[in-house]
Structure 1
Amino acid sequence: MAALQNSKPGPMGIIRDALGKDNPVLVQVLGICSALAITGLVSTTLVMGLALMIVTSLSCLMVSVLRSTIPYRVRLMVQMMVISVFVILVHLYLRAYHLEMSKALGPYVGLIITNCIVLGRCEAFAIRSKPLPAFLDGLANGAGYALVLLFIAVIRELLGGGTLLGHSVFPASFQPAMFLKTAPGAFLTLGVVVWVVKSIWPQTGAAPNHEG
């Protein structure tokens, strides 16, 4: 157990790993359902990424705070309940103050409850870590997810629609690649992004996970 604790990275290591070699989308290929569904527009991607960052960081923090009181046999159920509370709060906030954005995101904010990134970080890291590292781990993994999705959204909206944040970027003669706005186009864009990242930084995802 002591060896496991000593092998855990510090705060900067947690952030670096989540953004780089352990990125939840590029390396672990998690959360790609929403990557396909909401990356057609940069605006929806920004909100979705922020929502997941909030839910992941606060869920990991709460699970860490409660870790000594959660019975081992029901830990996954408790973690799901904690995640559900924060997802519901985010969903209600969007419905109350940003109704149009809530409608644009459809069911995908609610589906954060089933996102493997959130439960994965709660189970793999938060349940055995102190509150601050758990919070940073959740925040960093949420940020790693958000940054990748934002990059995909920029490509899809720019080349697939000729706009960025709803504003025209190219001249009227530009012919957008409408294929990029489809689900197969999203898969293709994600694949190209992963390929480019692995080509530039071949060590990404090569190192073993700290949690074992």
Structure 2
Amino acid sequence: MSELKELTVEGLWKNNPALVQLLGLCPLLAVTATVINGLGLGLATMLVLIGSNVTVSLVRNIVRNEIRIPVFVMVIAAFVTIVQLLMNAFTYELYLTLGIFIPLIVTNCAIIGRAEAYASKNAVLPAAVDGLMMGAGFTAVLMVLGGMREALGSGTLLAGADRLFGSIATNWTITLFDTEQPFLLAILPPGAFLGMGLLIAVKNVIDARLAARQQPETKTVTRIRVTAES
């Protein structure tokens, strides 16, 4: 359980593929104009991560080292194709919106990186949890960045939710404020860069404060031990 807990913390915070490893930035910055776009691409990436990690873990003792990278890429491409066909069949409008960035999941360094660094060296369950948590961390960043850009740019949240969840989500759009002209800086790519930089800065500040809190506790424990020995 301690290993699974560590994988959860690593994927969601300490080693987040978007905020720490800075992988997959091209689709992350390109499609996060809305929360739903980010959620759709994040879920697709998560499914590919889980599927590829599990498969790579299953065949890790069969595939020779000389050909492991081509085999891993073929596995990832197969799962990307499956996800692409599923989105084409069930979420066609979202599929059109995300466009080329769905097949480009194959080139996402976070996926091949986890397959090589973790799944190829561990059992199926830890590999599946690693894929799930890395995908969840990536999806969370996509959604937060998409929410920031959508709220500032258009004054709404969850616009177009029916493209992912169907007709049941037609009325899910939340209007924060009415605007005649959208805030283009937030909607266009420069806004994505600024928003991503802000998220990374916030994470760094939180990490610094957590580290500062832990240092006094360590010093206090050390002093108590020294006093007891003397």
Match of 1:48?
Answer: 41
Contact 2:155-2:178 within 8 A present in 1 as well: no
Alignment of 1:29-178 (within 5 A): 29-166=22-159, 167=173, 169-172=175-178, 176-178=182-184
- Matched letter for residue 61 of structure 1: V
Contact 1:162-1:174 within 8 A present in 2 as well: no
Shift of 1:70: 0.5
- Matched letter for residue 29 of structure 1: L
- Matched letter for residue 181 of structure 1: I
Structure 2 residue runs without a partner (length 5+): 160-172, 211-230
- Matched letter for residue 184 of structure 1: P
CA distance in 1 between partners of 2:19 and 2:209 (Å): 12
Contact 2:46-2:135 within 8 A present in 1 as well: yes
TM-superposition CA deviations, 1:12-58 (whole Å, max 9, x none): 11111111111111111111111111100111111111111110011
TM-superposition CA deviations, 1:118-171 (whole Å, max 9, x none): 000000000010111011111110111000111000000001111111235233
CA 1:203/1:68 → structure 2, altered by over 3 Å: closer, same or farther?
Answer: farther
Q: How many pairs align?
A: 196
Shift of 1:84: 0.6
Match of 1:191?
Answer: 197
Contact 1:18-1:140 within 8 A present in 2 as well: yes
SS at match of 2:14: coil
- Matched letter for residue 164 of structure 1: L
CA RMSD of aligned residues (A): 1.6
Q: Which has the higher contact order (CA 8 A, sep 6+)?
A: 1
CA distance in 2 between partners of 1:46 and 1:125 (Å): 25
Contact 1:91-1:109 within 8 A present in 2 as well: yes
- Matched letter for residue 183 of structure 1: P
CA distance in 2 between partners of 1:124 and 1:191 (Å): 27
Structure 1 residue runs without a partner (length 5+): 1-8, 205-212
SS at match of 2:42: helix
Looking at secondary structure, tell me which structure has more helix per residue. 2
- Matched letter for residue 85 of structure 1: A
CA distance in 2 between partners of 1:123 and 1:21 (Å): 19
CA distance in 2 between partners of 1:15 and 1:171 (Å): 36
CA distance in 2 between partners of 1:50 and 1:71 (Å): 31
**Identical counterparts, % of pairs:** 39
CA 1:71/1:175 → structure 2, altered by over 3 Å: closer, same or farther?
Answer: same
For normalisation by structure 2, the TM-score amounts to 0.81
Contact 1:21-1:203 within 8 A present in 2 as well: no
CA distance in 2 between partners of 1:96 and 1:174 (Å): 35
Contact 2:36-2:143 within 8 A present in 1 as well: no
For normalisation by structure 1, the TM-score amounts to 0.88
Shift of 1:173: 5.5
Shift of 1:177: 2.6
Shift of 1:99: 1.2
